[in-house]
Amino acid sequence: MKIKNSFFPAALALCALSLFAFKGYEKEKVSDIVWLEISHPKKNVNYYLEADSNGNLLMREIFGKKIVVRRGTVKKMFFNDFYREVRNSEIVTQQNLDTSKMMFYKGEVIKLSAYISGELKRVSSPMNKFSEAFIYAFNELKKQAYKIKPGTPPAAFITSVPLDGPLYDDFQKKASKDYKLLTMEAKELRSNLHLFKSVNEPHRMIPLESEDEVSGLSDFIYNNKLFGMKSLFYIGTTRGNFQCSVLDAK
């Protein structure tokens, strides 16, 4: 399915090459889970991977105009080995990554989100800055992902990122100078659970399994007069402003 745009009012954001941590709306036990994006422009590499402690795995790859989605389960040991290295990584836990030299870096970049002690952390870094043990565990998990045959993909994905930095500047260019995003309460967001989950877990790709779910999100955008298009819109919440994207899954 290709997402067609139609304009109506809507809200978002991303801070590139940065690391942050925050807590969600509710204090509830969070399962061990990691989601990440890998890119390497020179090698035309662009994919998303997520896995959790139950062995559930999702992978979305882009090959030119072709999108391949793999969903299934792998042995828990592969996730556990990788998650251990994520927890032990100083880049993730100590938030000491020096991004001053990233501007001219042209190699493989990983943008990773993970819950560490119940707190969601995000880091963007050259892959080669991580330890050999981290890279090995990651590659072993990725090998398992490729053993899963592509199946029926969802209708689309939704992903949200904090409205910050260049994204905020771009938003201001699109909106009038006097336009202000209205803050939507968690109770209102819960009327669309896919959007609620997406805002609660930034950068994660949340599947919209059916065309009805895609239409339901479009109706939510229209009915709440959000700023943007149905494939790219902006939303204000009690924990910040976000840019939300509806991405093709096939």
Q: Is the pLDDT of residue 155 over 90?
A: yes
Query: What is the spatial distance between Cα 212 and Cα 73, in angstroms, rounded to a whole number?
Result: 26
**Listed residues 131, 146, 161: the one ending a domain:** 146
pLDDT band at residue 3 under the 50/70/90 scheme: low
Asked, for residue 2, whether it belongs to a domain, the answer is: no
Higher pLDDT, 59 or 14: 59
Asked, for residue 158, whether it belongs to a domain, the answer is: yes
pLDDT digits (tens, 9 = 90+) for 48-65: 999 999 999 999 999 888
Asked, for residue 139, whether it belongs to a domain, the answer is: yes
pLDDT for position 9 = 38
Mean pLDDT of 120-144: 95
Q: What are φ and ψ of residue 96, in 5° steps?
A: -115, 25
Asked, for residue 1, whether it belongs to a domain, the answer is: no
Assess whether 186 and 237 both reside in one domain.
Answer: yes
User: How many domains does the chain divide into?
Assistant: 2
Query: What one-character-per-residue DSSP string does the chain give?
Result: -PPPP-EEE---B--TT--EEE--SS------EEEEEEEEGGGTEEEEEEEETT-EEEEEEEETTEEEEEEEE--HHHHHHHHHHHHH-HHHHS-----TT-TT--S-EEEEEEEETTEEEEEEEEGGGS-HHHHHHHHHHHHHHHTSPP-PPPSEEEEEEE--HHHHHHHHHHS-TT--PPEEPHHHHTTSHHHHHHHHSTT--EEE-SHHHHHHHHHHHHHTT-EEESSEEEEEETTEEEEEEEEE--
pLDDT for position 216 = 97
Query: What is the spatial distance between Cα 133 and Cα 119, in angstroms, rounded to a whole number?
Result: 23
Residue type (1 letter), 196:
F
**Listed residues 146, 175, 199: the one ending a domain:** 146
Which domain range does residue 89 map to?
20-146
pLDDT band at residue 201 under the 50/70/90 scheme: very high
Indicate which CATH number applies to the domain containing 57. 3.30.1560
Assess whether 26 and 136 both reside in one domain.
Answer: yes
**Listed residues 146, 166, 184: the one ending a domain:** 146
pLDDT digits (tens, 9 = 90+) for 216-230: 999 999 999 999 999
Higher pLDDT, 105 or 107: 107
Q: Is the pLDDT of residue 203 over 70?
A: yes
Residues 6+ apart with CB under 8 A from 186: 25, 196, 237, 238
Assess whether 70 and 138 both reside in one domain.
Answer: yes
Assess whether 179 and 212 both reside in one domain.
Answer: yes
What mean pLDDT value characterizes the chain? Answer: 86
Asked, for residue 45, whether it belongs to a domain, the answer is: yes
Range name among 108-112, 176-180, 209-213 with the lowest pLDDT average: 176-180
Assess whether 97 and 45 both reside in one domain.
Answer: yes
pLDDT for position 144 = 97
Asked, for residue 224, whether it belongs to a domain, the answer is: yes
